Amino acid sequence: MTVKDAVDEERRCFLRRATITAGSVGLLASSIPFISYWLPSVDTEAAGEPIQVDLAPLKPEQQLTVVWRGKPIWVIRRTQWMLDSLSKLNNFLRDPDSIDDQQPPYAKNIYRSIKPEFFIAVGVCTHLGCIPTYRPDVGSISPEWLGGFYCPCHGSTYDLAGRVYKNVPAPKNLEIPPYGYINDSLIIIGEDQAPAQTKKV
Amino acid sequence: MMKGMLLFILMLLSTMVFSQEEISIALEKAPVNIHDTASIKRGAVFFARNCEMCHTMIYLRYDSLAIKSGVLYSRMPINVKTWPLNIRPPDLSLEASRRGVDWIYTYLHSFYLDTQRPTGWNNLLFLNTAMANIFAPYQGQQIRLPLNEVGAKIYSRAYQWYDLLELQTPGSLTPEQFDAVITDVVNFLAYASEPYKIDQEKLGYWVLGFLIILFILIYRLKREYWKKLEK
Amino acid sequence: MENLSRKKGMLAWINARFPLREFLYKHLTHYFAARNFNFWYYFGSFSLLVLANQILTGIWLTMEYTPTATEAFSSIQHIMRDVRLGWLIRLLHTTGASAFFIVIYLHMYRGIIYGSYQYPRELLWLIGMMIYVVLLLEAFTGYVLPWGQMSYWGAEVITSFASAVPWVGKYIVIWLRGDFAVSGVTLHRFFSLHVTAIPLVILFLVFIHLVALHYVGSNNPDGIDIKHDRETKEDVPFHPYYTLKDLTGAVLFLIIFLSIVFYYPGMHGLFLEHENFVPADPLQTPSDISPVWYMTPFYAILRAVPNKTLGLTIMAASIALLFVLPWLDRSPVRSIRYKGIYSKIAICVLVISFVGLGYIGIHSVSPLRTFLAQIFSIGYFAFFLTMPIYTRFETFKKPPEHLTS
């Protein structure tokens, strides 16, 4: 091989690498529109906007279900008796202190809500996604039952703060969505604070 | 030369009888600039206040610029069933792509008084239009000049709308102010047809810039390999 | 070194079960082609590139498009405005459709001037012509999908061609449409054809097109048969020479193509017709109906004939003649470089007529245009119908022994 051949080889090698690199960058970049196309479109995001819920019509123990981003959201008005029962159950629960990141910081308390009276949660079982039933009646699921939620698909149970029991298939407490109080009887679900304009339910 | 003049006068005389026939007029060039976002917003505000009661823009439903300027889907006459003269005002989301900005700009300038029309108005570009002249308060009232008054001055070029119309009663805006307002409106309509246009241009620079670099590299690589063949 | 031997191990595993190495050998590294391919030889690989673009962007468009009469138009605006970078995918698809025809026409032109349809490539040419006709159908069904005014009325006009069939024509039209006039039923079935059926046919035809090509080998600008041996060095292995050359050309092609996508996708009403920005209205025909530019040459021929049935027949003949080109050419030489003066004049007449017809087809009818369309139609047909005569009797040059560069 002459000197010129060696230089040629080197140049060819460099050019080949440079071109392949540039070409790969181009190919990767051209995949961007195909990936962004799959992101929720502007109208899909608009449909997922936060919703307002009026708490005034709720009677004690009543459960209201609304839909936000395609999922059922429960709004339950708890009685004082229900709230008092929560502290008795800590030994039976998998995560009584809500260590797992299933709730916003303001719901990281024994009531798992901003105000104890109203419980707002995503009504989807953390096991495999069924919608649990609301069973506030004492002694209905078992003799020691103090009220809570029972999932009919595989038997998972939760207390009236959505905390999951031990020895059931579900691994985590029910998820609490971001929400906030616009005023004493109006909440907005989907956002931490109340903004200027939203859809009313 | 004399024959030509005679022919011309005869043509003018014949058009005098049909003074409301459709004359083909040249389109005035609309001074739109889609990069002028402030103009687009002003146009949107004008549209929300003056046009939205009749014209829908259904494809701007989720457009943030439109929403911020007051062009709201909830206020558009989408479900209105009965319209004057039984003609539904067209949706304008794509009008600029359909007719072109020059057409719209000229159209919005070309309304004139016509007592024979149910609306009381007619338009040079769209003869017997069912659209009322909502611009009259701003532009003023124009009348159409009979052709014999117009012809002699400008037979060397095509008619422009301002050759054929004369401002009889002024409106709240001077002609220059009115031109600016209509430019804003047409800018907004152009934006409405293609809201992605600015992103499109910007992305284009990057893509083409990259491709030029890639071309230089790959061309040189090709030459490297093909050079060997000369031997 | 570990990675290299693992890679070699994987390749050996595959090669023991699949003819990968043989395929690469036979069709790339040891498929030989003449070394003097010029500008006209890019367009075959460009067609493949545009086909890939249409399929990829088409699949993505199908994810957000709704094929019903009430939703089609809105779903396209949804893609253009609400879907993130949806406008880019859609404009790649519409520009790609026009680019496909530009590239295919230039590819066909190469075949005509270099006699690539002559023995032993007649079947290759026939398959290519089938691809062209199927592509016209694909473009037609695709254009209906936005359900604008041109979509609707173009569908109305083209489906009514079938009414020219004697006796049963009327019923065929209803059968084609699935309804008494073009409607959502028609749209929905055209959607299925455009997205699934016809692309499968195209892919199959392109595959056998390449099989036929590789079986007989490529032609060259001199139209001579070359010897594939190391001595004469007239040919080069396709890889790396033509893979690199085609890729370089492809990058340049992309620069031009993407300039249009990003800065002029409407192409002044040619690629995105103005009237199609209006939703379909079955009760109002637009003042000027014309098909998209790539069909206008044939449309102009149709309009030039004052009789409906005769016009349709002549229009069909204008495409059919292309199929029999291999048998019309009686010249002993393939390439225009060595054919006589009459062939050269004939090709000029063909190009001028075809382009002229295309231009006329875009515009509205007028007596002058109809007259010119008739002249150009005669020119177009003359190219084919007189070919057996002028190719047989003209004085041609003897083609060289070896390739010229």
CATH for the A44-200 domain, from 1.20.120.400, 2.60.40.10, 2.102.10.10, 3.30.750.210: 2.102.10.10
**Alpha carbon distance B219, B207 (integer Å):** 18
Query: Which pLDDT band holds residue B11 (cuts at 50, 70, 90)?
Result: low
Q: Please indicate, yes or no, whether residues B143 and B160 belong to a single structural domain of this protein.
A: yes
Q: Please indicate, yes or no, whether residues B45 and B124 belong to a single structural domain of this protein.
A: yes
Query: Which pLDDT band holds residue C228 (cuts at 50, 70, 90)?
Result: confident
pLDDT digits (tens, 9 = 90+) for C83-135: 999 999 999 999 999 999 999 999 999 999 999 999 999 999 999 999 999 99
Q: Which of C214, C248, C282 is the C-terminal boundary of a domain?
A: C282
Chain C positions touching chain A (beta carbons under 8 Å): 56, 60, 63-64, 78, 81-86, 88-89
- Identify the domain containing residue C314 by its residue range: 291-405
Buried residues in C272-302 as b, exposed as e (16+ CB within 10 A): bbbbbbbbbeeeeebeebbbbbbbbbbbbbb
CB contact under 8 A, B61 and A43: yes
Q: Please indicate, yes or no, whether residues C297 and C403 belong to a single structural domain of this protein.
A: yes
pLDDT digits (tens, 9 = 90+) for B51-101: 999 999 999 999 999 999 999 999 999 999 999 889 999 999 999 999 999
pLDDT digits (tens, 9 = 90+) for C358-382: 999 999 899 999 999 999 999 999 9
CA dihedral angle for residue A100, residue A106, residue A112, residue A117, rounded to 10 degrees: 180
Q: Torsions phi, psi of A27, nearest 5?
A: -65, -45
Distance in Å, alpha carbon of C255 to nearest chain B alpha carbon: 6
What is the CATH number for C247?
A: 1.20.810.10
Q: Which residues of A touch C64 (CB under 8 A)?
A: 37, 41
Q: Please indicate, yes or no, whether residues C217 and C173 belong to a single structural domain of this protein.
A: yes
List the pLDDT tens digit at each of the 201 positions of chain A: 577 777 777 877 888 999 999 999 999 999 999 999 999 999 999 999 999 999 999 999 999 999 999 999 999 999 999 999 999 898 999 999 999 999 999 999 999 999 999 999 999 999 999 999 999 999 998 898 999 999 999 999 999 999 999 999 999 999 999 999 999 899 999 988 654 444 554
Q: Is the pLDDT of residue C2 over 80?
A: no
Residue of chain B nearest C239, judged by CA positions: B225
* Cis amide bond preceding C240, omega within 30: yes
Which pLDDT score is estimated for A9? 78
Q: Please indicate, yes or no, whether residues C262 and C351 belong to a single structural domain of this protein.
A: no
Chain A window 16-55: which residues touch C at a Cβ cutoff of 8 Å?
Answer: 32-34, 36-39, 41-44
Q: Please indicate, yes or no, whether residues C217 and C244 belong to a single structural domain of this protein.
A: yes
Q: Please indicate, yes or no, whether residues C263 and C363 belong to a single structural domain of this protein.
A: no
Q: Torsions phi, psi of C9, nearest 5?
A: -60, -45
Mean pLDDT of all residues in B105-126: 94
Whether residue B2 is contained in a domain is answered as no
- C244, HSE (Cβ side, Cα atoms, 13 Å): 23
pLDDT digits (tens, 9 = 90+) for C293-349: 999 999 999 999 999 889 999 999 999 999 999 999 999 999 999 999 999 999 999
Report which of C296, B221, C32 is spatially closest to residue A23, judged by C-alpha positions.
B221
Mean pLDDT of all residues in B179-195: 97
Q: Would the pTM count as exceeding 0.80?
A: yes
- C74, HSE (Cβ side, Cα atoms, 13 Å): 11
Distance in Å, alpha carbon of B231 to nearest chain A alpha carbon: 13
Q: Please indicate, yes or no, whether residues C112 and C145 belong to a single structural domain of this protein.
A: yes
Distance in Å, alpha carbon of A195 to nearest chain C alpha carbon: 23
pLDDT digits (tens, 9 = 90+) for C239-251: 999 999 999 999 9
Which pLDDT score is estimated for B15? 40
Which pLDDT score is estimated for B159? 82
* R_g over Cα of chain B: 25
Q: Which chains touch C (3 or more CB pairs under 8 A)?
A: A, B
Nearest-5° angle of CA B102, CA B106, CA B112? 170
Indicate the number of domains in chain C. 2
Which pLDDT score is estimated for C88? 98
Mean pLDDT of all residues in B141-166: 78
Q: Please indicate, yes or no, whether residues C312 and C330 belong to a single structural domain of this protein.
A: yes
Query: Which pLDDT band holds residue B231 (cuts at 50, 70, 90)?
Result: low
Q: Is the pLDDT of residue B205 over 60?
A: yes
* Helix/strand/coil for B140: strand
Query: Which pLDDT band holds residue B147 (cuts at 50, 70, 90)?
Result: confident
Tell me the domain boundaries of chain A: 3-36, 44-200
Q: Which residues contact C105 (CB under 8 A, 6 or more apart)?
A: C294
Q: Tell me if C123 sits within 8 A of C281, measured CB to CB.
A: no
Mean pLDDT, chain C, rounded, equals 95
* Cis amide bond preceding A152, omega within 30: no
C155-158 long-range CB contacts below 8 Å, 24 or more apart?
C155/C182, C155/C186, C155/C190, C156/C181, C156/C182, C157/C289, C158/C291
Report which of B91, B82, B85, B108 is spatially closest to residue B52, judged by C-alpha positions.
B91
CB contact under 8 A, B218 and A23: yes
- Identify the domain containing residue B222 by its residue range: 196-231
